[in-house]
Structure 1
Amino acid sequence: MSMEQALMKLSALLIAALLSISSAAAFAHSGGTDSKGCHRNHKTNDYHCH
């Protein structure tokens, strides 16, 4: 394997790792959901579904 191929492989792995981490953070929030997949934000009194 050439040095260029190794760097391309490493770059692809780093990009995949960063996308995985940022995707998980985007969907996470505190608070449970009801049977419909919804919940109420008690600070704003907003009810929304995911």
Structure 2
Amino acid sequence: MKRIAATLALVLASSLAAAHSGGTNAAGCHTDHRTGAYHCH
């Protein structure tokens, strides 16, 4: 049962990460064209 709960927790946690479009420059940064914000990864 613990293994199922751990697997479910991992699946739910990984689904919270949201991807967005846009390539990064040499520093790993880019402008999010939807919001206009410039940020780095």
Cα distance change, pair 48–12 in 1 and its aligned pair in 2 (3 A):
closer
Structure ranking higher on relative contact order (CA contacts 8 Å, 6+ apart): 2
Q: TM-score of the superposition, structure 2-length normalised?
A: 0.55
Q: TM-score of the superposition, structure 1-length normalised?
A: 0.51
Q: How many Å apart are 1:44 and its aligned residue?
A: 5.0
1:19 matches 2:10: no
For structure 2, the residue ranges without an aligned partner over 5 or more in a row are none
User: Based on CA coordinates, which of the two structures has the bigger radius of gyration?
Assistant: 1
Task: Give the paired residue count.
Answer: 41
Q: Give the secondary structure class of the aligned counterpart of 2:30.
A: strand
Give the superposed CA RMSD.
2.1
Cα distance change, pair 31–44 in 1 and its aligned pair in 2 (3 A):
same
Q: Give the secondary structure class of the aligned counterpart of 1:48.
A: strand
Structure with a larger share of its residues in helix:
1
